[in-house]
Amino acid sequence: MRSTARAARDGEAAGVADLRRKLATRGENVRAVPASARIHAALRDEIVAMTLPPGGALQEKQIALAYGVSRTPVREAILKLADERLVDIFPQYGTFVSRISVPEVRDAMVIRNALERTTVREAAARVAAAPSADRRALVAPLHTHLRQQREAHRARALTDFHAADEDFHQAIAELAGHPNIWRVIRQEKTHVDRCRLLTLPSPQRRSSVIAEHALVADAIAAGDADAAEKNMAAHLGRVIPSVEALVAAHPDYFEQGPDPAVAANEAAEPPLVAKAR
């Protein structure tokens, strides 16, 4: 009994130490923001990065010990994550990382398509309308983020690769004159990001993303709105097929809803009416 208790204590201590190491790597000033906000940000990052996998349990006690706080700010952070549909809370049973919602991935991609195809056209139009001497400066951020992606790809630095990807799309929104649009998209694409972090270990996928981004950047630099939109649509159009492959490879990570096409067909069918006897 004594050895079992000691093993449990050792396991708990190891878990707390692991959490503390992860917090230290974030480089945050722990007194700069409220504890609940820090805990929420840290857990959210790890859920999106799939460090905390779908279905994994969250232990309030370990998190509180790692931060040196009471359980109250931990509960506040977890409730916010639940509002974002990133954790599931089962009273008297536990709190678990939510599985990736395939319907929410589809919804997010509809939003991304609508907004990003518009912003990429406007970005290209702005370049086309600018004096020739100013065009290189306008598209310089896009080429900077592309270079960062290539460097991260060679270094197999997946977190840096994803960050440069985000910066690339943000730069397009800023060039279009809509800097807040990417913030809106980011709020809606959390489940998409979780999927993307599963695909990034593939060198082929990273190479494809870089090539797709280069086509978008070249079209914007040329001031060709039609080509920019076409290339962006092709880039975004590869997301859902990759998600379907992930569902097949990691079924336990996903929460699936009905296929939209099947649901639409069923909704269009007339209801069955029982025959009078």
Render pLDDT for 215-240 as a digit per residue (tens, 0 to 9). Answer: 999 999 999 999 999 999 999 999 99
For the chain, domains (ranges, CATH) are 8-98 (1.10.10.10), 101-257 (1.20.120.530)
Q: Which of the given ranges, 13-22, 163-172, 191-200, 249-258, has the highest pLDDT on average?
A: 163-172
Tokens (6 digits) for 128? 């086309």
Tokens (6 digits) for 6? 């000691």
Taking residue 186's Cβ as centre, other Cβ atoms within 10 Å add up to 15
Helix/strand/coil (H/E/C) assignment for every residue in 174-211? HHCCCCCHHHHHHHHCHHHHHHHHHHCCCHHHHHHHHH
Residues whose CB is less than 8 angstroms from the CB of residue 244 and which lie 6 or more positions away in sequence, other chains included: none
- The answer to whether residues 247 and 105 touch, using CB atoms and an 8 Å cutoff, is no
Q: What is the pLDDT of residues 21-40, one digit of tens each?
A: 444 444 445 456 789 999 99
Tokens (6 digits) for 215? 């086509």
Nearest Cα to Cα of residue 253 among 102, 46, 104, 82: 102
Q: What is the pLDDT of residues 47-94, one digit of tens each?
A: 999 999 999 999 999 999 988 999 999 999 999 999 999 999 998 889
Burial class (CB in 10 A: 0-12, 13-18, 19+), 9: exposed
